[in-house]
Structure 1
Amino acid sequence: MVCIRCQMVVKAELEKVGLPYVYVKIGEADIIGDVRTEQLEQLKIGLKKAGLLLMDNKKSVLVEKIKSAIIELVHYAEDQIKVNLSDYLSEKLNYDYTYLANLFSEVKGITIEKFYLTHKIERVKELIVYNELNLTEIAYKMHYSSVAHLSNQFKKFTGLTPTHFKNLKNKRRETLEDV
């Protein structure tokens, strides 16, 4: 689960199969009591129809937690972190960053850093499209050292300058699930 809509789908599917839960957060759900095999199968089918997968492999679950932490940080947090991403993830997930980085690369085929930067660029695209902030404000909000740094990274990832991107009316953003 990487978005609010996904959380709503999971809650609905849990209720449909009669599984009470304590909470459903991005990337995880805490279910009350035991789960019967039939309920688990029904849940898997319902989630699959909605384009979601039930993760029960510990490595896959941890990778999803890494993704969720990054997505929450980039897309939903009001303030960006004041520490390194590696320190942030280690503290949040209670694992050594080297282990997290190696696991993530093994499972996803890209580095945590590339995943993080890709999401930052998608967030920058969103802010550009909203047209509420200028590039200086966007660079500050997204913790870039300068507009030039933002522009260089943006061009590296998209092939376009932020200004050129802003002028393209038909350029479509990636969905969070596709990043």
Structure 2
Amino acid sequence: MTFLIKNMVCSRCKMVVTEVFEKNGMKPNAVNLGEVIVDNVKLPPAAFDQLHTDLKKLGFEIIDDRKRRVIEKIKNAIVELVHHSDENLQNNLSAFISDKLDYDYNYLSNIFSESEGITIEKYYIAQKIEKIKELLMYDELTLSQIADRLGYSSVAYLSNQFKKETGLSPTFFKNLKSKNRRNLEDL
């Protein structure tokens, strides 16, 4: 039996969700971003409700609706690509998503936009911007290295997209964060 779990976006999430399943008497065979696989277990409604309640307390949610499941798979594929993979997107996003989920991209795009109010591409860009912020805060990579790592054709393109989405240049954001960090260290 496969459970799709909303809001599972990191390794810590996987660990917490595993603990919740084990607490509720189910030993997962596999736990991936947004997905928990357990042996075919028939859960009584009360046990399912308890599992759902325990997950919800921690910010997670079991997805029952078929379209919601597909949308969550799209989100998880993008999060995995941007935040947990060192490889660049080799072809375009639509081909990647379509291949990953084995659905026609037009169908995926329509249900995603209808449900989320943004396009898959906008969601992908938002995730990339969050990754850029994270990498800027670590201050270990240059803008050129960040652009290369995230598949941007140039630093200028990364900077333009970052400014369009955040209203700040990457350099201003980096300086703003380092100033705030110094102020916190002075306390």
Q: Which runs of 4+ in 1 moved over 4 A?
A: none
* Partner residue of 1:60 out of 65, 68, 72: 68
Task: Tell whether 2:24 aligns with 1:17.
Answer: yes
Any residues of structure 2 matched to 1:34-73 within 5 Å, and which?
34-73=42-81
**Equivalent in the alignment of 1:177:** none
* Partner residue of 1:153 out of 138, 156, 161: 161
| TM superposition shift of 1:131 | 0.9
Normalising by structure 2, we get a TM-score of 0.88
Amino acid at match of 1:101: S
CA contact (8 A) 1:66 1:89 kept: yes
Structure 2: which 5+ residue stretches go unaligned?
Answer: 1-7, 182-187
Identity %: 52
Normalising by structure 1, we get a TM-score of 0.92
CA contact (8 A) 1:121 1:154 kept: yes
| TM superposition shift of 1:54 | 1.0
Amino acid at match of 2:10: C
- String of CA shifts for 1:80-134, please: whole Å, max 9, x gaps: 1211110001111000011111111111111100000001011111111111111
* Partner residue of 2:106 out of 94, 98, 103: 98
Structure 1 Cα separation of the partners of residues 144 and 46 of structure 2: 54
* Partner residue of 1:108 out of 91, 110, 116: 116
Structure 1: which 5+ residue stretches go unaligned?
Answer: 172-179
